């Protein structure tokens, strides 16, 4: 009996905690959007310089690693595709497969996952450390809104940086497939380019870019939310940083699923 009530009570508390979490996220979202829209009307509200600095950090500095990984994934995809296609003597269609998979799915996804690890976690750690050191409280006491001061520049930077990096990732992933196919699998260069161009439509590009914008939003908000959740000391920062990566990847996959379905069935 007591075990049962404990179970029910526990489940209820967990559900309430989740609901509370959802409410907190909503507050954060509304707050960010409010300051994003309201700030420009209130004089020097938007911190453009900070946003640019973040953009360089999230976008420019992540290009080498995103490029390298995406090149390799392009090559891997080409190999895996050829594994089946070669049996039908259809290796020239590797181009179609790699191109469509890269643009519609893998380039946005890989970029988002790499940036989660690189920048989403950094956002959580930075805000968490500031919270532990009472820096957030200090901002509050000064009458500086922490959302406006910390979140909005990061949000702008992330939403600008991820689509840019994603375009690069798409290009390099296709390049990876191209290099492997033409050099190792001896597919004709002209044919490969022709097939890639033929397979890709504007719709595919739109799918990929739409996803990447929403991935950026997820990464930023999850990082910020986890950062603000930090309690206690260094241990709390570590815990929430890890948690930000896991949560973020989970929601990236959910968003990916939703938009893939949307574009598959509706467009």
Partner 1 sequence: MGMEQENEYAIEVEDLVVRYGDQTVLDGVSFQIRRGETFVILGGSGHGKSTLLRNLVGLMRPFAGRIRINGQDFTAMSDAGRMEVRKKIGMCFQGSALFNSMSLADNVALPLREHTKLKESTIDIMTRIKLELVGLGGYEDYLPAELSGGMRKRAGLARAMAMDPEIIFYDEPSAGLDPIVAAGIDMLIRKMQSTFNLTSVVVTHEMASVKLIADRVCMLRHGRILAMGTLDELAASDNPFVRQFFERRPDEDQEDRDDYLRALTGGSERTAPGPQEPEDGR
Query: Site residues (CB under 8 A) for partner 1?
Result: 43-44, 126, 129-130, 133-135, 137-138, 140-145, 149
**CB nearer to partner 1: pick between 9 and 233:** 233
Shortest distance in whole angstroms from residue 135 CB to partner 1: 5
Nearest alpha carbon to residue 209 among 146, 160, 148: 160
> CB-wise, 132 or 193, nearer to partner 1?
132
Q: Give the 3-state secondary structure of residue 46.
A: coil
CB of 158 closer than 8 Å to CB of 119: yes
Nearer to partner 1 by Cβ, of 11 and 38: the residue is 38
Cβ(97)–Cβ(217) under 8 Å? no
We find the least distance from the C-beta atom of residue 136 to partner 1, in angstroms, to be 9
Nearer to partner 1, 150 or 169 (CB): 150
Which tokens in the block code for residue 57? 């950090």
Would you say 126 or 204 has its CB closer to partner 1?
A: 126
Q: Residue 210: which residues within 8 A CB-CB, separation 6 or more?
A: 259, 263
Residue placing its CB nearer to partner 1 in the complex, 38 or 184: 38
Residue 194 or 235 having the CB closest to partner 1:
235
Other CB atoms within 10 A of residue 131 CB: 21
As measured in angstroms, the least distance from the Cβ of 262 to partner 1 is 37
Rounded Cα distance between 15 and 37, Å, is 33
Taken as a whole, the chain contains a residue count of 267
The angle subtended at Cα 26 by Cα 227 and Cα 236, nearest 5°, is 20
Nearest distance from residue 64's CB to partner 1, in Å?
24
What separation in angstroms does the CA of 168 have from each of 42, 111, 124, 230? 36, 9, 26, 34
Question: Residue 22 CB, nearest distance to partner 1 (Å)?
Answer: 21
CA distance linking residue 107 with residue 100, whole number of Å: 10
Alpha carbons 34 and 57: distance in angstroms, whole number:
25
Shortest Å, Cβ 53 to partner 1: 11
CB 212, CB 112: distance < 8 Å:
yes
Residue 125 CB, nearest approach to partner 1 (Å):
12
């Amino acid at each position: 009996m007591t075990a049962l009530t404990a179970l029910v009570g526990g489940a209820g508390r967990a559900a309430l905690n989740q609901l509370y979490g959802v409410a907190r996220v909503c507050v954060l979202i509304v707050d960010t959007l409010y300051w994003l829209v309201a700030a420009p009307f209130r004089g020097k509200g938007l911190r453009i310089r900070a946003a640019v600095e973040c953009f360089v950090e999230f976008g420019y500095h992540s290009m080498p690693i995103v490029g390298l990984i995406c090149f390799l994934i392009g090559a891997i995809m080409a190999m895996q595709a050829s594994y089946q296609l070669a049996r039908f003597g259809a290796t020239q269609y590797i181009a179609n497969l790699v191109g469509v998979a890269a643009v519609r799915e893998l380039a946005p996804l890989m970029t988002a996952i790499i940036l989660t690890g690189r920048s989403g976690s950094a956002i959580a750690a930075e805000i968490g450390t500031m919270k532990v050191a009472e820096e957030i409280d200090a901002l509050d006491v000064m009458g500086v809104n922490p959302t406006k001061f910390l979140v909005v520049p990061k949000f702008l930077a992330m939403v600008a940086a991820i689509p840019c990096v994603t375009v690069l990732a798409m290009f390099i992933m296709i390049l990876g497939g191209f290099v492997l196919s033409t050099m190792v699998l001896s597919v004709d260069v002209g044919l490969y380019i022709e097939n890639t161009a033929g397979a890709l439509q504007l719709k595919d590009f739109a799918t990929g870019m739409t996803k990447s914008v929403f991935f950026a939003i997820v990464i930023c908000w999850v990082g910020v939310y986890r950062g603000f959740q930090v309690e206690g000391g260094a241990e709390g920062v570590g815990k929430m940083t890890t948690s930000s990566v896991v949560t973020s990847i989970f929601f990236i996959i959910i968003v990916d699923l939703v938009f893939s379905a949307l574009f598959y069935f509706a467009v």
